[in-house]
Amino acid sequence: MRIPKPVLGGFLIVALVAAGVYLVFFDNSRAAPGASGETSSAAEPGQSAAPPPDQKADAAPLPVKVAPVTKGDLVMTLKSPGEAYTEKQVVLKAEVGGVVKNLSAAEGRHVKQGDLLVALDDREFQLNLEKLEAQRLRFLSEIYLEKQFATSTQAPSPEAVARLDKAKADYDKASADFKKGLISQTALEKAQNDHEMALIEAGRKKDEIMASTKNLTQTEIDVKIARMNLEKTRVRAPFAGILTEIKVSPNERLDPGRELFTLVDISRIKVRAKVLESEVGKMRAGREATLRFSAYPGKAFTGRIESVSPVINAEDKTCAVYITMDNPSEEIKPGMHAEAEIPTEIFTGRLLVPQEAVLIRGGRKLVFAVEGDVAKWRYIEVGLENERFAEVLPSTEPGWGVSEGEKVIVEGHVTLAHDTKVSIVE
């Protein structure tokens, strides 16, 4: 029996629809976990299975930094601008004229006291000294001759002769020692004067001898001046320091008064700060002060108040305060801008916490103290304050305040809650 084509087409459509419904239902059953009584497969290696919904995981401790509660001095300070300078700075000049024969000065060179820096050609000065020395010896010889050939009605006493012999021996020895560098010029001149006085006392024509002695004395003064000028041809460092602003060259002819270079000692620096007239009474010499320089941001140096000016500036009503500091590494240079933090008042025996530890919540100040591994907030009453510390006043409220030696959180506590577990990091 033949089936009509319309009927056959209807059967095919119904079969296709039934097959589609079956496939959709079968795929959804496979995708649903736990369907038909089956459980999901085990976790892959290296992956942890999720905890059951009724189990709560412990929160990890929060890292914080702490500082101790201390008992000490609370120092109130004021800040003032200042400028660094040094008192040991000198411009060296030529005292005599001449040609530069030897130049040891160089920009930035460190020198010691007494170091030879410049030597001028000294031949002219040396000849002048020798000429005056010869003239002095001539006058001295005349005195000897006048004594030797003078007629006298009275012989010198034995004591005068003995003193003359001893004075001459002492002078001869002093001359020899001076040439060897064993005695000073002053010691030589003393021996010479003693000898000449002994000659006068033992002479028979004291008037003539005294006349010759006057010429000798003037010549001796000329000799000393010539010797000083000879010494001035050598320029030496008056103190230890650093050379700068060199203004002379080798073989250059110098006139007296010519500037040569500047010598500066910066091993010790001073800062001149200014405070208002109303704060002068709080300044005390000897107190430590903190100095900060623009050239070294974030770095603090320690100085000491050396003196307070006795004069108030009439224009701005300020008083100068002088602060000194050691500068062995020569970091600080004269002329650098400084900010001085000067102590005004010192309150002793105060309970202190760092300013970083203090928070405000609900309009009240508090700190977080660490008890074991838990952070506990404590309300506090704050007294005096400076930039670094706050004074904690005694409180009668239960659970308020902190004690000396407790640790308070200074970092990592801005969003911290009471009873939060914490771990202390360095």
The domain limits of the chain are: 65-73+349-424, 75-86+265-346, 94-120+234-261, 123-232
pLDDT of residue 67: 96
Mean pLDDT estimate for the chain: 82
Contact 333, 83 (CB under 8 A): no
Q: Which residue has the higher pLDDT, 199 or 151?
A: 199
Among 1-5, 322-326, 342-346, whose mean pLDDT is lowest?
Answer: 1-5
Comparing 396 with 38, the larger pLDDT belongs to 396
Tokens of 410: 């200074």
Domain boundaries 94-120+234-261, CATH class = mainly beta
Q: What angle do CA 35, 40, 42 make, to 5 degrees?
A: 165
Q: What is the mean pLDDT of residues 355-375?
A: 93
- Give Cβ neighbours of residue 409 (< 8 Å, ≥ 6 apart): 64, 65, 66, 357, 367, 368, 369, 370, 375, 416, 422
pLDDT score recorded for residue 129: 81
Tens of pLDDT, residues 77-108: 999 999 999 999 999 999 999 999 999 999 99
- 65-73+349-424: what fold? 2.40.420
Residue 43 has pLDDT above 50, yes or no: no
What's residue 185's pLDDT? 79
Q: Which class in CATH covers the domain with range 75-86+265-346? A: mainly beta
Q: Assess whether pLDDT exceeds 60 at residue 399.
A: yes
Closest CA to 288 of 275, 276, 300, 298: 300
411: closest CA among 367, 352, 353, 357?
A: 357
Nearest to 401 by CA among 367, 363, 374: 367
The pLDDT value recorded for residue 339 is: 95
- The pLDDT score that the predictor gives to residue 150 is 52
**Cβ–Cβ < 8 Å for 411, 422:** no
Sign of the Cα torsion 251, 257, 261, 265 reads: positive
CA atoms within 13 A on the CB side of 325: 25
pLDDT score of 38: 38
**Mean per-residue pLDDT for 47-60?**
50
Q: Are 422 and 63 in contact (CB under 8 A)?
A: yes
- Taking 70 as the threshold, does the pLDDT of residue 32 lie above it? no
CA 70 to CA 410: how far, in whole Å?
Answer: 14
Question: Tell me: the pLDDT tens digits for 237-267?
Answer: 999 999 999 999 999 999 999 999 999 999 9
Q: Write the pLDDT tens digit of every residue in 160-210.
A: 778 878 888 888 898 888 777 788 878 888 888 787 777 766 653 454 455
> Which of 279, 272, 282, 283 is CA-nearest to residue 323?
272
* pLDDT for 406: 95
339-358 pLDDT, tens digit each: 999 999 999 999 999 999 99
Mean pLDDT, residues 371-390:
93
pLDDT at 182: 86
- Listed range (31-45, 160-174, 214-228) with the worst mean pLDDT: 31-45
